[in-house]
Structure 1
Amino acid sequence: MFKIPKEYIADLLLLSVTIFWGSTFIVVKRSIEIMPTFAFLSIRFWISTLLLVLIFHRKLKLLNKKTLRDGIILGVVLFLAYAFQTVALEYSKATIVGFLTGLNVIFTPILSAIIIRKIPTIYSQIGAVLAFVGMAMMSFNNFTPSFGDILAIICAIFVAIQIVLTDKYSRRNDTYLLTVIEIAVLAVLSTVVSVLREPYIIPHKISGYLIFSFLITAVFATVYAFVVQNTAQKYTTPTKTAIIFIMEPVFAAIFGYLLGNEVLTAKAYAGAFIMFIGLFISELGPLVIKR
C-alpha cells in the first residue's frame, strides 16, 4: 500500500492554511473600514484565545517556563507581523498587501541559515526564486512603493522570522500549548495598542458582516491555522513552509476578485502560474530525482 510521507501531509495542511489566510485579506480590509484596526485584532484574538483554552485546557497544567518563554517570543513577533500588515491594508489594496507579504519567501531561507543553521535544498532554493519572480510579476507595476507597500514589506520580514522560530520552537515544545500562549500574547498586545491609540474596542453596533468576519478570522484563520502551522512545521522545513505560504497572495487575489472586484492583469496571472511552478519544484523535485 502506498504510504504518503508525513512531510507531504504536513505541506498539504499548510497549503490549506494559506487558503484561509488568503480569504481574510479582503475581509479584514472591509472590517477595519467599519471599526478601528487594533480593536478588530483585539476582539479577533481574544475569541481565538478563548477557543484555544476551551479546546486545550487540560494541557495547561503541563505549561512550563520554556514553553511560556518561547510562546511569548512567537507572539510578539507575530503581533508585529499582523500590526504592520493590518495597518498596510489601510493604505494599499488587499491584493497588493497580500503579494508583498509573500516576500517572506526570500527572507526565510536567509534567516533560516542565520538563526537555526538550516540550509535549504537546491529544490527549495529554485522554488523560492521562482516564487519571488512570480510574486514580483503580480505585484509591481513600477518602482515607487507607497507607504502601505513599505509596511507590507516590513510585515514580510517578521513573517519570515516567525516561520523560522516556529520551526525551532515547535520541535522542543508541546505545539498546542505553544499556540495558546502565542495567540494570547497577540490578544493582549492588540488590546494594549487599541486602548492607547483608538477611541474604542467594542464597536457600537455589531453588524452581520462583523460577526462573519470574526468567525472567519478567529476560528479558521487563527485557531485552525496556527494549530496546524505549529504542528506541521515539525515535519517540514522553514523554506518549504515559506514557499507554500507564498500561495497566500494567490488566494488573496482570487478572493479579492470574488469578494472585492479587484481585477488582475495578464502579467499577474502569469506570475501566479510561475509561483505554482516554484511550489511544485520545491515539493516534487526531490521525489522525481529519487525515482
Structure 2
Amino acid sequence: MEVSRVQRKSTRLSITEPMLLLVAIFWGTSYGLTKEALLFTSVFLFIAIRFSLTFILMLPILINDFRQGLNRDWRVAVPTGVILSAIFFCEVLGVSQTTASNAAFLISLSVILTALLEVIINKRNVSILLYVLAIASITGVFMLTRNTKEQFSLNTGDYFILIAACLRAIMVTTTKRLVVNREIATTSLTALQSLIVALSSLVITGFYLPLEDIHIPNKVEFWFIIMYLVIFCTLFAFFAQNYAVRRTSPTRVSLLMGSEPLFGALFAVIWLQESLSFIQMLGGVIIVVCVITTSLKVKS
C-alpha cells in the first residue's frame, strides 16, 4: 500500500510540472500574438471575445460537473475570477503600450512576489533554496530581455505590467488558500473564472464604447490568433494552473511558469527571425537551470 502511494505521488509530480512548462511555452508566444490581435480590435473587446469563447467551449463540462454535484463550493470562483479579470486588463493594456522585453521582465517579478506573499498569506515557510532560485530566475529574465542598445525605463505600459505581476502573485496564492478542501472541479473553476472575465470585459466595453462602434473583427488572421489563445493560452493554461496549485506550492507553480520569457524569446527567434545576444542566451540558460532545479530538488 505504501509503495502504491509513493508511485501515485511520483506520477502526479511528473504530470504537474510538464503541464506548467507547457503553459510557460504557450504564454511565451502570447505577447507577440496579442499585439497582432490588437491591430484588429480594442483591448477590452479582445479580452471579452477571448474569454467568452473560452466559457462557451467549457459550458458542457461545467453543466456536467454541476449535475454530478462536484461544485458545492462554486462561489470560490468569484474572487479569483475578479482578480483574473484585473490581471488581464492590466496585462493586455500593458502589452499594447510597452515593448515585449520590458513586459517579460516586469511580469516575471510575480515569481519573487509569490514567494513573499506565500509567507504572509499562507503562513508557510519557504526554503532558502527556493528564494535563491526565484532571484536567479529573475536575474536570468533580466539578462534575457535586456536591450543593451536602449536605456531601461518605465512607461505607462510598464506600470500596467508591474501591477499585473503583483496581481498574478495574489492570484496564485489566493487560489491555493480558497480552493483547499473545497468541493469545486478544476474544470468548473476555470470555466467560471472565464465567465467573470468575459462579463467584466463586456461591461467595460459597453461603458466606454457606443453600441454602434462595437465591431467584431472579420479577418481570418484575428480568429486564428483568438482560437490559439483560447485553446492553448487560456483553456489549457488556466486548467493547468488551477490543477497544479492544488497539488504543489504556489511559489513552485509561479517559478515553473516564470520561464515563459525564455520561450517568448525562442518564439521571436524562430517565428519573427529576431536574434539573441550572448547575454540574452546566458539569461535563458539560467532560467532553464532554475526550472530544472526546482523540478528535481525543491520540495513543495
1:74 is matched with which residue? 80
For 1:73 and 1:263, the matched residues in 2 are separated by 41
Deviation at 1:138, TM superposition (A): 2.4
Give the deviation of 1:75 after TM superposition.
0.9
Q: Percent identity?
A: 26
Matches of 1:6 and 1:156 in 2, distance apart?
A: 28
Q: What amino acid does structure 1 have at the position aligned with 2:173? A: V
**How much does 1:180 deviate?**
1.7
Residues 71 and 188 of structure 2 are in contact (CA less than 8 Å); yes or no, is this contact kept in structure 1? Answer: no
User: Quick one: which of 175, 186, 196 aligns to 2:207?
Assistant: 196
Quote the residue 2:225 is aligned against.
213
Equivalent position amino acid for 2:295 in 1 = E
Q: Which residue does 2:96 correspond to in 1? A: 90
1:236 equivalent to 2:245? Answer no
**Contact 2:61–2:187 at 8 Å: present in 1 too?**
no
Match of 1:161 among 146, 167, 170: 170
Shift of 1:201: 4.0
Matched, 1:152 2:161: yes
After superposition, the Cα gap between the structure-2 partners of 1:202 and 1:220, relative to the gap in structure 1 and judged at 3 Å, is farther
Residue aligning to 1:277: 289
SS of the equivalent of 2:153 reads coil
CA contact (8 A) 2:71 2:183 kept: no
The range that moved more, 87-96 or 106-115, is: 87-96
Amino acid at match of 1:277: V
In the other structure, the counterpart of 1:36 is 42
Residues 176, 246 of structure 2: 8 Å contact kept: yes
Question: C-alpha displacement at 1:22, in angstroms?
Answer: 1.3
In the alignment, the residues of structure 1 paired with residue 291 and residue 239 of structure 2 have an alpha-carbon distance, to the nearest angstrom, of 22
Uncovered stretches (5+) of structure 1, i.e. residues with no partner: none
Equivalent residue in structure 2 for 1:182, among 193, 214, 218? 193
Q: Scaled by the length of structure 2, what TM-score is found? A: 0.87
Is the 8 Å Cα contact of residues 95 and 252 (structure 1) preserved in structure 2?
Answer: no
Tell me how far 1:193 sits from its aligned partner. Answer: 1.3
**C-alpha RMSD of the superposition:** 2.2
Partner of 2:267: 255
The residue aligned with 2:143 is 137
Q: Which residue of structure 1 lines up, in the alignment, with residue 280 of structure 2? A: 268
Residues 40, 201 of structure 1: 8 Å contact kept: no
Offset at residue 134 of structure 1 (A): 0.8
CA contact (8 A) 1:131 1:246 kept: yes
Indicate the SS of the match to 2:297.
Answer: helix
User: How far did residue 14 of structure 1 move?
Assistant: 1.2
SS at 1:235's partner residue? coil
- Residue 27 of structure 1 pairs with residue 33 of structure 2: yes
Sort the Cα spacing of 1:253 and 1:201 in 2 relative to 1 into closer, same or farther, 3 A: farther
Whether the 8 Å contact between 2:37 and 2:225 is mirrored in structure 1 is yes
Deviation at 1:143, TM superposition (A): 4.3
CA distance in 2, matches of 1:148, 1:266: 27
Distance 2:253 2:157 in 1: 25
Counterpart of 2:12, as a letter, is K
User: For the residues of structure 2 that align with 1:271 and 1:46, how far apart are their CA atoms?
Assistant: 37
Contact 2:70 2:183 in 1 (8 A): no
* 2:43 partner letter: T
Give the Å deviation of 1:94.
2.7
CA contact (8 A) 2:61 2:188 kept: no
- C-alpha distance in 1, partners of 2:167/2:290? 22
Matched residue SS, 1:34: coil
Partner of 1:128: 134
Seen in structure 2, the aligned counterparts of structure 1 residues 143 and 28 have a Cα distance that, compared at 3 Å, is: closer
TM-score if structure 1 supplies the norm length? 0.90
